[in-house]
């Protein structure tokens, strides 16, 4: 990667938008109905508060036709430079072949969700399936340039999950921002929610019935601890989920949005470079990292004015 070419490409590219679709499914019981809706509402609030070029859509207990219609709307509006995030909260089932997301009327299958996702032109995609049995959807949803996060590692983990609670927390808790750059990436949100879920079961002195995994290579079963060592997490590390603090304030200022986007691009390049470190000569790695850090500092200076 050459810093000059990278920055020129970032400067010439049109501002990209992110489409967020959060769907809370059928609860089956009042308690679950309330929880699913509450977590979806929390996510909706955090995304809208973050500002920027975000299109936030939240569906509560929709039918399959309503989901199809909303996907059709996004498909018409989105462009290849955009990003798309689908978040599923609720109950799921898995019969050994196909995963199904529980909604009013006929359930929607993992295969149909994959088909709908394939039609969305946004080139960067993230699916966060937080339902029971969600691990059974990985092989159906995975694709090049698509990050897939599931609350369970397999389709046989059938108990109701709590991962969604902590994923919602990750989008508003500064603790999730591990590198303290006022942006929570998909990878940071995953690590936060996975850790909090583990702590929940430990504090309850219960055997964990869900084990979240992340897959962003387009193959494999996902990893509980994605890292450069196992090759998972490279795309998730450079996928911004939500802005916090000063970044959120800048996102609400039209004059500063171009600078904020440049900052995002630089931080993403730094994260990508760190994943590629092993493939580069040490001198070249240090040179590129220094150039990116200097440019990042200059950009932050402009934002802070």
Per-residue model confidence as pLDDT tens digits over 241-293: 998 877 666 666 677 667 777 877 777 787 777 777 777 888 888 888 888 88
Instruction: Determine the pLDDT at residue 10.
Output: 37
Give the bridge partners for 143, in sequence order.
146
User: Mean pLDDT in the chain?
Assistant: 88
Strands, DSSP E only, in the chain?
18-24, 54-60, 83-89, 92-94, 99-101, 108-109, 124-129, 146-150, 183-185, 213-215, 240-243
245 in the Ramachandran plot: left (φ > 0), alpha (ψ -120 to 50) or beta?
left
Average pLDDT, integer, range 124-139: 98
In the structure, what pLDDT confidence band is assigned to residue 1 with cuts at 50, 70 and 90? very low
Q: Which of 77, 4, 79, 19 is nearest to 241 (CA)?
A: 19
Instruction: Determine the pLDDT at residue 299.
Output: 79
Instruction: Determine the pLDDT at residue 2.
Output: 45
Q: Which of 265, 287, 267, 291 is nearest to 277 (CA)?
A: 287
Q: What is the pLDDT of residues 7-57, one digit of tens each?
A: 334 333 445 789 999 999 999 999 999 999 999 999 999 999 876 668 999
* CA distance readout (Å), 75 to 72, 122, 199: 5, 8, 39
Instruction: Determine the pLDDT at residue 243.
Output: 86
Average pLDDT, integer, range 160-179: 96
Does residue 165 register a pLDDT over 50? Answer: yes
Domain parsing of the chain, residue ranges: 3-8+247-304, 16-243
Domain spanning 16-243 has what CATH number? 3.40.50.1460
Q: What is the pLDDT of residues 220-239, one digit of tens each?
A: 999 999 988 898 999 999 99
* CA distance readout (Å), 230 to 136, 216, 226: 21, 11, 7
- How wide is the angle at C-alpha 157 spanned by C-alphas 154 and 162, nearest 5°? 110
Instruction: Determine the pLDDT at residue 252.
Output: 66
Report the range of poorest mean pLDDT among 2-6, 111-115, 173-177, 298-302.
2-6
3 state SS of 55:
strand
Sheet containing strand 108-109, edge to edge, reads: 92-94, 99-101, 108-109
């Amino acid at each position: 990667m050459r810093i000059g070419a990278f920055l020129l490409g970032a400067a010439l590219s049109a501002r990209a938008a992110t489409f967020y679709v959060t769907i809370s499914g059928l609860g089956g019981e009042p308690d679950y109905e309330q929880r699913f809706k509450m977590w979806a509402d929390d996510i909706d609030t955090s995304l809208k508060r973050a500002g920027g070029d975000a299109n936030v859509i939240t569906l509560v207990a929709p039918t399959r036709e309503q989901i199809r219609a909303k996907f059709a709307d996004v498909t018409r509006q989105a462009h290849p430079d955009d990003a798309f995030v689908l978040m599923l909260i609720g109950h799921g089932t898995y019969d050994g072949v196909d995963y199904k997301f529980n909604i009013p009327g006929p359930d929607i299958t993992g295969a149909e969700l994959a088909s709908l996702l394939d039609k969305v032109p946004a080139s960067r995609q993230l699916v966060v399936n937080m339902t029971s049995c969600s691990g059974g959807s990985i092989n159906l949803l995975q694709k090049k340039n698509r990050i897939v996060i599931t609350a369970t590692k397999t389709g046989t983990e059938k108990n109701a999950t709590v991962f969604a609670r902590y994923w919602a927390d990750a989008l508003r808790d500064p603790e999730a921002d591990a590198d303290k750059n006022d942006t929570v990436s998909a990878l940071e949100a995953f690590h936060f929610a996975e850790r909090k879920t583990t702590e929940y079961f430990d504090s309850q002195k219960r055997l964990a019935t869900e084990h979240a995994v992340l897959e962003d290579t387009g193959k494999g079963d996902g990893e509980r601890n994605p890292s450069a060592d196992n090759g998972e997490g490279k795309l998730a590390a450079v996928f911004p989920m939500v802005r916090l603090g000063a970044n959120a304030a800048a996102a609400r200022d039209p004059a500063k949005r171009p600078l904020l986007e440049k900052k995002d691009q630089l931080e993403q390049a730094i994260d990508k470079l760190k994943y590629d470190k092993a493939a580069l000569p040490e001198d070249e790695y240090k040179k590129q990292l220094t150039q990116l850090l200097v440019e990042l500092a200059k950009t932050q200076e402009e934002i802070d004015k």
